[in-house]
A and B are shown apart, each in its own frame.
Chain A
Amino acid sequence: MPSQCSDNAAVCVADVSKTFRYSREAVHTLKERALHPLRRRPQEEIHALRSVGLEVGQGEFFGIVGRNGSGKSTLMKCIAGIYATDDGQIHLRGRLAPFIELGVGFNPELTARDNVSINAIMLGLTPAQARDRYDSIIEFAELEEFQDLKLKNYSSGMQVRLAFGVMVHVEADILLIDEVLAVGDVAFQQKCHDALQTARDEGRTILLVTHDMNAVQRFCDRAVLLEAGRVMELGEPRSVCRRYEQLNFQRPKEERGALPAHLGDGAAAIGETWFEDEHGTRTAMITHDAGCAIGMRVQFREAVEDPVFGAVVTDERHRVVFAATSASSEPRSGAFAAGQEVTVRLRFHNVLASGRYFASPQVAYSGTGQRLMDHRENAATTVVTGGRQGAGTIDLPHTVEITAATTAGDEAARA
C-alpha cells in the first residue's frame, strides 16, 4: 500500500499527470504513411493534468470545479480507468462505478426496457440484478407509462431521468458524476438531490464535477479547484468557490460580455453574493410566499462610516422588480475599518412570481446612496418556485370572491 494514502481514503490520487499528443494533421491512411515514412508529424501536446494530488475520504462528498478545459473531466476519466495516466498513481478502496456520464450506451432505436438493461450492465450490474431493479428504476424515473416506447420518442428530460434512475441503482461505493444536476424540472432536480443525499448517507463516496457553485456549497464536504491541469485550491467548498469566482472575474473583458463587472470607487469590495431561504441555507431556488434573503460579503478597503448597503432585484427581462437599501432602516450602519469584512443580509418576504431573478448588490456612501463604492451586476441568481400561474412579476396574496348578480332573468327562472 502506498504510504501517502491515509487509512480511510476511498480515492487517492498521487502526482498524476496526463498529456495528450495530437498530430496536427492526422495520418489516417496507409498511403500517406507509405509516401512519407520518415516524416515526423508536427505534434501538439496538451497537458491536461500536471502532478495532481488529492485524496477523498470514504463517505465524502467531494466537488471538482474549474473552468472549461481545466482538466476536470480528464481527472475523472483517469480515476474511472478510461484513460491511462502518464505519471503518478491512482488508488481506490471499494467498488467504483466505471462511468462518468449518464445514459452511456443508450440507443434511440430501442425501448426504455432494453436501454435500462444495457445501461445497467454497462455500469456493472449483472443481467439478473438489472432485471430485479428494473421496476424500481422505472418508478424512480417516473416513466411507468412509457416503458415500451422507443427512446428516440422520449424528451431529453425523460432520457435523463431514466439515466439518473439507473445510476442511483448501481451498486458502487464510489460514484463519479460529471455535470448532471442541472437537468429536469424542479421536482426532479430535488429528487436527484435527495438521491445523492441518500447515497452519501449510505456511506458512498461521491465525486461531483460541476460549474454550479451553489451545488458545491450545498452538498460538498470538500472541493478542489483545477486550473490548467493543476490543483489551485483544495479544501473547504466556500473558499474553493470564492477562488473559482475570482478566477472567472479575472478573465478578459470580451469573454465576459458587455456587462460591467463593477462600478464604484473601490473603497469597498463585494465578494460573493447569494440567495438564501428562511433557514439561512444558500439555495438556487427560493419558495414563493416564504421568507428569504439576499446575502453579500463586503470587505472594506478604506475606513468608511455609515455606508448604505443595497441590492436591486431584476427579472429575466432586466426589469427592476424592487430595490432595497439599508438607508431607510439602518441610516447609521456603523463605522468600518479598512480590511474589515462584513456579511449583509437583506431579508424580505418573497412575493415574487415564479421565474428567474437576479440580484445586483451595491455599497454606497451615506446620503442619497448614489456615490458607489462597489456594485456587481447580476452577481446572484435564483429561481422562484411555487407561485401561482399568472402574468405578473409579483404574486401578491389575494383572494377572489364571486357573487352572482341578481337579474330579471334569474328571478323569472326562480319563479
Chain B
Amino acid sequence: MTGEALYEVRGPSALAGDWRRSLDLAVMLAYTDWKLRFFGSVLGYFWSLLRPLLLFAVLYLVFSQVVDVGGDVKDYPVQLLIGVILFTFWGEVTGGSVTSVVDREALVRKIAFPRAVIPLSVALGAAFNLFLNLLVLGAFLAIAGVEPQWTWILVPFPLLFLVLFAVGVSLMLSSLYVSFRDVQPIWEVILQALFYATPVIYPIEVLAGKNESLSHVALMNPIATVIQETRHFVLGDDTPSAVDAIGDPALLLVPLFIVVGAAIAGYVIFDRLAPRVAERL
C-alpha cells in the first residue's frame, strides 16, 4: 500500500471521476425511480407507456375528426405519433430534472459522487421509456402499412441531437432550481408553450402552406428540427426533411447552435454549482 501515490481530494464536481461508477450510479438511480413510481400497481408501468398513446389518440380524434388540421398531408397519424412521442421524451427529461438535485438532497449531503449523475439518471429513465415507445411506433407503422425505408437506421441521429439538447437544458434547470424555486412553475408554462410552438399537432407542411416564413422560424426550434427529420427518416421522401422544410440549409445552423450552446452552458452552469451544492441545499 505504501507504494500507492498520494492524490488530492478536489471536492465534488459535475462529472469528474470514475465514469464506470457514474454510469452504475445513474442506472441505479433511474432504476430505483422507475421501481418506486410503479410499485404496487400492476398496470402502473403499462399506463405510463400508454400516456403518449392516449395523448396521441385524443389529439388525433380532435385534430382529424373535429378540426381538420392534418388535411391531405400524407400519413398524418404517424407524423402526429412521432411528434407526441418525441415531445413527451423532451418534457419528461427537462420537466423531471428540475427538482431532481434538490429531491436527492439526502444523497448529495452524504456521499461524494459526480453531481451531474442525478439529472443524467432522469434522462436515462426517460430514454428507456422513449425506447419502448419507439417499439410501439414500430408496431403502429406495421399496422398503418407504412413501407420500410432504409432511412430508418438513421433515426438515432436526430434522437441523439434531442438527447443532447434535453440534457443540456436539464443541467441548467436543475442547478438553477437549487437557488430559485420558481424555476419549476416557470418551466411548466414554457413546456406548454413549446408544445404548441413546435409542429407536433400540425404538420410543418400545413404551416408552410399558410405562412412559409413562419414555418422556417418554427423549424429553428431544435425540437421541431429533430421531429421533422425523424418524420422524414421514418416516412421517406413524401415527408420533407428538416433541410427542405427550413428553406435555406444555412438556417439549420440556428438549431445546431442552440443545442450546442445549451449543452455547453448547461455543463458550465452545473459545474460551477457542483462543488457547493451540498451546502446550498
B46 at the binding interface (Cβ < 8 Å)? no
Q: Do A98 and B112 contact each other (CB < 8 Å), given the known contacts A104-B106, A122-B25, A124-B21?
A: yes
B20, A107: Cβ atoms closer than 8 Å: no
CA distance A12 to B8 in the complex (A): 9
Say yes or no for B109: interface residue by CB 8 A criterion: yes
Q: What are the residues of chain A within 8 A of B7 when measuring CB–CB? A: 91-93
Most chain A beta-carbon neighbours within 10 Å: one of B27, B110, B278: B110
> Which residue of chain B has the shortest Cβ distance to A2 in the bound complex?
B6
> In the complex, what residues of B have CB within 8 A of residue A127's CB?
24, 27-28
CB contacts (< 8 Å) of A92 on chain B: these are: 6-9
Among the listed A84, A104, A114, which residue makes an inter-chain contact with B12, where contact means beta carbons less than 8 Å apart? A84
Let me know if A89 and B8 touch, CB within 8 A: yes
Bound Cα distance from A28 to B2, whole angstroms: 49
Number of residues from A at the complex interface, CB < 8 A: 51
Select the stretch in B32-40, B47-55, B62-70 that faces chain A: B32-40
B182→A94 contact, CB < 8 A: no
Asked if A203 and B1 make an inter-chain contact with CB atoms under 8 angstroms apart, the answer reads yes
With CB as the reference atom, state the residue of chain A lying closest to B183.
A30
Report how far A122 CA is from B183 CA in the complex, Å: 29
Kindly identify, within residues 3 to 28 of chain B, every residue whose CB is under 8 Å from any CB belonging to chain A. Answer: 4-12, 20-21, 24-25, 27-28
Which A residues between 292 and 314 are near B, CB-CB below 8 angstroms?
A: none
**B108: A residues at CB distance < 8 A:** 82
Residues of A within 8 A of B196 (CB): none
Cα distance A127–B26 in the bound complex, in angstroms: 12
Contact A93 B4 (CB under 8 A): yes
Once A93-B5, A99-B110, A104-B106 are accepted as A-B contacts, the answer to whether A81 and B25 lie under 8 Å apart by CB is no
On chain A, the residues within 8 Å of B28 by CB distance are 117-118, 121-122, 127
Given contacts A92-B9, A110-B32, are A82 and B181 in contact (CB under 8 A)?
A: no
| Contact between chains at A99 and B111 (CB < 8 Å) | yes
Minimal beta-carbon separation of A104 from chain B (angstroms): 4
Task: Kindly state the separation between the CA atoms of A2 and B106 in the bound complex, as whole angstroms.
Answer: 34
A56 interfacial by beta-carbon distance below 8 Å: no
Known A81-B9, A93-B1; contact A107-B279, beta-carbon cutoff 8 A: no
CB within 8 A of A30: which of B6, B12, B113, B182? Answer: B182
Q: For B39, what are the chain A residues with a Cβ–Cβ distance below 8 Å?
A: 109-110
Partner-contacting stretch, out of A72-80, A187-195, A247-255: A72-80
A-B contact pairs, 26 of them (CB 8 A): A1-B6, A5-B6, A8-B2, A9-B6, A12-B6, A30-B180, A30-B183, A58-B2, A82-B108, A82-B109, A84-B12, A89-B9, A90-B8, A91-B9, A93-B5, A93-B7, A94-B1, A105-B107, A105-B111, A114-B32, A122-B28, A123-B111, A124-B21, A127-B24, A127-B27, A173-B1
Closest 9 CB pairs of A and B: A84-B11, A81-B112, A84-B275, A90-B9, A98-B112, A104-B110, A91-B6, A99-B111, A28-B181
